[in-house]
Amino acid sequence: MALDHTVLLGSVVESTIAPQADQVDRAGRFPRSAVTALGEIGLLGLASATAVGGGGAGLAETARVIERLAGVCGSTAMVLLTHYAATAVVEAHGPPSLRGAIARGEHLATLALGEPGDRGAVTRTGGAVVLEGTKTWVTAAGEADSYVWCCGSAAVLVGGDTPGLRAGAPFDGLGLRGCAATSMTADRVEVPADAVVAEGLDHALPVFLVLGAAFSLGLTEAMLADTAGRVPESRELAALRARADLLRVFCDDTVAAVAGGRGDARVRAAQARLAGAETATEIGDRLLRLCGFAAVRKELAVERHYRDALTARVMTPTGETLQEFGGQDAVGQPLFR
């Protein structure tokens, strides 16, 4: 009988991801060995359909994987998060060869979402499409095998080795230092016309937002665990624990909303991502104050998790954009446009 993917994940976390997490952060090194190991145990293909050899997992299962990884290595978790968001588009509209490669764990995809103004230009020339523009904050930039390049509500499937596609300067920032989040430029990149997905953002963004909330929940749980026994105020710790538990309930309900196609699914996904980011940073800040100087030592992972939480909070879409989603929903305007 095949092992459950959570058992396999635990094995890879212990053998590969956890031992390298600190060095990935300090050196700003892309976690290539972790990605390879995740592919070998079927987790790169977890969200792919069983018909192409994937795990056939739903959003609840992928969210649990992201939560677990975020509490160990935020950079690895963010790489897998964007891969799952890109996979949602590939599964809906990608060619069988690409779907099969992802399902077999041989192909890393990522989401080129960028800032709101980073739409890029798509022009049709005969039977091909020419893509131009620059995207900021692309996770696994220069490392992924393919990109789901979002242009408004549409998306373009672009191979990582396509001529004219190039990554910007290596990322050297506060947190998530190993996820290779930098700019990607398309300089007259030519792809087949069928590589354009008309409503690609509708597939990718809800998954991206929900998994972003799970990511923040994983960081929150890890920071609470890191500081266990070091918080002198039991009442304060209980209050923080209650906030984390509320976030989990909200995340679980949001997963159910999105997976079940509930009417409020889109706005709930945006709210969950915002709530997760704010909860992780606020709880992290409070724990650092309560624990004092001991909590910022490199021997403990809490300061790394806190930096990852701060960085994730300002990644696209930012809190301001997520609040705009809520406003659009309140007045009946379409979201994700």
- C-alpha 330/C-alpha 33 separation (Å) is 45
- Stated as kind and residue range, the H or E segment containing 123 is strand 121-125
H or E stretch at 2: none
How far are the Cα atoms of 62, 66, 68, 205, 269 from residue 258, in angstroms, in the given order?
A: 13, 17, 20, 11, 7
Of 73-82, 141-150, 152-161, give the lowest mean pLDDT range: 152-161
Write the DSSP symbol of residue 296: G
Rounded Cα gap, residues 222 and 71, in angstroms: 5
**Predicted pLDDT at 13:** 97
| pLDDT of 1 | 32
* 30-39, 117-126, 214-223, 260-269: segment of lowest average pLDDT: 117-126
- Spell 273-295 as b/e; 16+ CB within 10 A means b: bbbbbbbbbebbebbbebbeeeb
- Statement: residue 329 has pLDDT above 70: no
Give the model's confidence band at 234: pLDDT under 50 very low, under 70 low, under 90 confident, else very high: confident
Mean pLDDT (the chain, rounded): 90
Quickly tell me which residue has 């909330």 as its tokens: 213
Span 120-147, average pLDDT: 89
Which tokens go with 39? 């592919």
Looking at residue 115, its pLDDT comes to: 67
| Candidate from 12-21, 99-108, 157-166, 283-292 with smallest mean pLDDT | 283-292
Amino acid at 309: A
- What pLDDT does residue 2 have? 44
**Greater model confidence, 335 or 234:** 234
Task: Give CA–CA dist 81/205, Å, rounded.
Answer: 11
- Is the pLDDT at 335 greater than 60? The verdict is no
CA pair distance 126, 124, nearest whole angstrom: 6
Where is pLDDT greater, at 154 or 4?
Answer: 154
Strand, helix or coil for residue 189: strand
pLDDT at 98 over 80: yes
pLDDT at 334: 62
Instruction: Please state the rounded mean pLDDT for residues 187-210.
Output: 91
Q: Residue 318 above 90 pLDDT?
A: no
The pairing of strands 196-197 and 154-159 is antiparallel
- Percentage of the chain beyond pLDDT 70 is 92
Average pLDDT over residues 269-290: 94
Tell me the backbone φ, ψ of residue 135, rounded to 5 degrees: -115, 135
How far apart, in whole angstroms, are the C-alpha atoms of residue 12 and residue 55? Answer: 17
Quick one: average pLDDT of 278-306? 86
